[in-house]
Chains A and B, each alone.
Chain A
Amino acid sequence: MRMLGLTMKRKQWEPVAFASPSLLLIALVIVFPLAYSFYLSFQNFDLSVGPDYEFVGGKNYGEAIFRDPRFLGSVWNTAVIIAPSLVLELLLGLGIAMLLSRVLHGRPIITALLAIPAMVSPVMAAMAWRMMYGVKYGAINNLGRQLGILDVYFDWFSSPFVSILAVVLVDVWHNTPFMMLVLLAGLQSIPTELYEAARADGASAWQRFWSITLPLLKFTMAVGVMIRLIDLTKLFGLIFVLTFGGPGGSTETVAFTTYLMGFKDFRMSYAAALSYVIVGGVLVLTLVFFWMQRVREARAA
């Protein structure tokens, strides 16, 4: 009996002791700064003015949500970049995943080659593409001229519309491989018997796609899109290198505007408030994501 009591006690402290190092570090380096930042977002701390600050209530949040055309503009810009990126990444990712699932020879090597862009940092991706877009010495303009498609050197970052397209293209290049990998895994989990049975019943390729592939891939697609959506709200490195928000702020995303507010204008409190507005948005998206996962688990059970 006494021995049982001892082991009970041991079992009570051991899990805590094992878990505590990382939990302490997370509390110290993530949770505490976040709380401090939340506190700051209600002050008027401005490093360009001085180290002193005072409580101003919800003023920063009021300014961010109702009166700051730059931040509201960046919300719009972010949405304008996100929408076409998501659609293209989903469609291209699905297309390539379906091609890959039909390949008999060399699938692992082709998949690995296609996956490389997803492992590259946004900064490096943007840098590589800056050299692709280069006006006089870039690959695209030179190839276009060589093939006779372009007759002038085209500046890809001169107008807001084309700049946004250029940013979307880089994001599609960078993140379609992720979508492709997720959807390929989803496709491979669909039992081949279903397709064989459908074929025996005389279903066409198109019918097999609509009544087997799409319904069974729906949740995988939704999960992939949600993950991309949440990550796209953080778009920063790509913008930093590719356009630095230009031309005329047309590619300033929420993360980039917040960065400029904090580390160019040094309005720390206001930047903290902006970042909490972003956190609020991401939180809503994350809850939708968890809810979707739950629905999926409920269906699977």
Chain B
Amino acid sequence: MAIALARSVVVTQRAKRHRLWRRVGHGLTYLGLAVALVFFLGPFFWIVTTSLKGNEDFFAFPPVWIPLEPSLKHYAALFTRSSGARYFTNSMVLSTLSMVAALVVSLPTAYSIARWRFGGGLLSIFLLALRMLPAIALIIPIYIVYKLLGVTNNYLALIVIYTVLYLPFAVWLLVGFLRDFPVEIEEAAMIDGCSRLRALVQVVVPIIAPGMAVVALFAFIATWNEFLFAIVLTGIETKTMMVLVTSFTSGGTDMFYGEASASVVLGVLPAFAVAFMLQRYLVKGLALGGTRG
């Protein structure tokens, strides 16, 4: 619009200079963003190229920035020698199941808050306060209880804790989506003889499905990324990718690079997917703690 305005005005010497400055300004804007992109994506570049290097390339100087003969042998080693396949599957299964459980449990609660203002403002504040709660305060009693019940290193016990950790966030987001949903549609369904629950499942859910997908993806990555509960409560069978990756730190500052970088690449894959798919919701999701279990 500013350009259109400038055109309609008689082009004076001053306007010409102004346009030159604007072009310089634009150049600087893109330059600044390019620097930011290098800083924020540089480590990913280093990790991906490192994971594809042959062993002799790690030690080369000058460093090999782009491996000329990329190989997947570190991935193969990670999957066989370090049981990476098992722990990758663990992360996938835990994240998927707790995501589904969190959605199923949180939906009726969110509905109750959105439609009937259940619990007044107090419940909403309570749920938001849970987001602020330091996880370290919860892991100590949970560890003792799980130890007493003998359910450390147990998939189901992990799914329970991850589902509940994510509930406050899921309810919060879903309330927002449900408030935007017109009451008339479900009322019409109920006049036609639908029960409240059936109206929710068969009428409301299909329409707010995109919103639920947002909640689901955030839930998935929250469990995928979670570390404190995983390091304390998992054992040799139930380890997640986050726990596996820390096992490569034992070699001092120059640890075993190949498998370590391969496991980081696999560990950050969901982050890439989510950053692109959930762009519109990133602010809300991150502010509510959607990625940090």
Chain A residues in the interface with B (C-beta under 8 A): 11, 14-16, 18-19, 21-23, 25-26, 28-30, 33-34, 36-37, 40, 95-96, 99-100, 102-103, 108, 110-125, 127-139, 142-143, 145-146, 155-157, 173, 176-178, 181-182, 185, 223, 227, 230-231, 233-234, 236-237, 240-241, 244, 255, 258-259, 262-263, 268, 271-272, 275-276, 278-279, 282-283, 285-286, 289-290
Instruction: Provide the bound-state CA to CA distance between A116 and B228, in Å.
Output: 22
CA distance A133 to B249 in the complex (A): 13
Tell me if B105 is interfacial: C-beta within 8 Å of chain A: yes
| Segment with Cβ contacts to A, from B8-16, B71-79, B204-212, B250-258 | B250-258
- Which residues of B are found within 8 Å of A108, using beta-carbon distances? 279
- By a beta-carbon cutoff of 8 Å, the part of chain B in contact with chain A is 25-26, 29-30, 32-33, 36-37, 39-44, 46-47, 50, 58-59, 61-63, 105-106, 108-109, 111-113, 115-116, 118-119, 123, 125, 129-130, 132-145, 160-161, 163-164, 167-168, 171, 196, 221, 224-228, 231-232, 242, 245-246, 248-249, 253-255, 257, 260-261, 263-264, 267-268, 270-272, 274-276, 279, 282-283, 286-287, 289, 291-292
A-B contacts, 20 listed (Cβ < 8 Å) = A19-B109, A22-B105, A26-B130, A37-B137, A99-B32, A116-B268, A119-B270, A120-B271, A124-B225, A127-B267, A128-B264, A129-B43, A136-B59, A139-B43, A157-B253, A182-B283, A231-B289, A237-B227, A263-B143, A275-B140
Given the complex of chains A and B, what is the CA–CA distance between A195 and B62 in angstroms?
50
Sorted nearest first, the 10 A-B pairs with minimum C-beta distance are A121-B225, A119-B271, A33-B141, A18-B112, A37-B141, A275-B137, A142-B63, A18-B108, A19-B112, A29-B164
Whether B46 contacts A132 by the Cβ 8 Å rule is: yes
Contact of B132 among A33, A122, A142, A286 (CB under 8 A): A286
Q: Which residue of the partner chain A has the closest CB to B102?
A: A22
Contact B160 A29 (CB under 8 A): yes
Contacts of A102 in B (CB 8 A): 25-26, 29
Cβ–Cβ contact B40 & A177, under 8 A: yes
* A134 to B115 CA separation, bound complex (whole angstroms): 55
Check A116 against B242 for contact (C-beta < 8 Å): no
| Chain B residue at minimal CB-CB distance from A145 | B61
Alpha-carbon distance between A122 and B227 when the two chains are bound, in angstroms: 8
Q: State the CA gap A92–B247 with chains docked (Å).
A: 33
- Report how far A100 CA is from B26 CA in the complex, Å: 11
**Chain B min CB distance to A121 (Å):** 3
Centre residue among B61, B227, B232 by max chain A CB count within 10 A: B227
Known: A22-B167, A119-B282, A127-B249. 9 other contacts (CB 8 A): A21-B109, A40-B140, A99-B32, A112-B275, A118-B286, A139-B63, A233-B134, A234-B134, A259-B136
Contact B287 A182 (CB under 8 A): yes
* Residue pair A279, B134 in contact (C-beta under 8 Å): yes
List of A residues within 8 angstroms of B145 by Cβ:
33, 36
CB distance from A134 to the nearest CB of B (A): 5
Tell me which residues across on chain B come within 8 A of A111, comparing CB atoms.
Answer: 279
Nearest residue in B to A22 (C-beta to C-beta)? B109
**How far is the CB of B19 from the nearest CB of chain A, in Å?**
15
Residue A34 contacts which of B25, B37, B137, B246 (CB distance < 8 angstroms)?
A: B137
Tell whether, in the assembled complex, residue B221 and residue A119 are in contact, meaning their CB atoms are under 8 Å apart: yes
In the assembled complex, which residues on chain B have CB atoms less than 8 Å from the CB atom of A15? 112, 115-116, 118
Check if B136 sits within 8 Å of A103, measured CB to CB.
no
Interface of A is mostly: helix
Decide: A128 near B47, CB < 8 A? Known: A16-B118, A37-B137, A286-B132. yes
Cα–Cα, bound, A131→B138 (Å): 31
Give the contacting residue for A240; candidates B37, B160, B227; CB below 8 A.
B227
Cross-chain contact A25 with B163 (CB below 8 angstroms): yes
Instruction: Determine the chain B residues whose CB is within 8 A of the CB of A282 once the complex forms.
Output: 132-134
Q: Is the CB of B228 within 8 A of A236?
A: yes
Whether the Cβ atoms of B292 and A231 lie closer than 8 Å is yes
Q: How far is the CB of B110 from chain A (nearest CB, A)?
A: 9
Question: When A33-B145, A279-B137 are in contact, do A139 and B46 touch as well, CB less than 8 Å?
Answer: yes
Whether the pair A26, B132 counts as a contact (CB closer than 8 A) is no
Inter-chain contacts of B33 with A (CB < 8 A): 96, 99-100, 103, 110
Q: Shortest distance in angstroms between B288's beta carbon and chain A's nearest beta carbon?
A: 9
A118-B245 contact in complex given A18-B109, A19-B118, C-beta closer than 8 Å? no
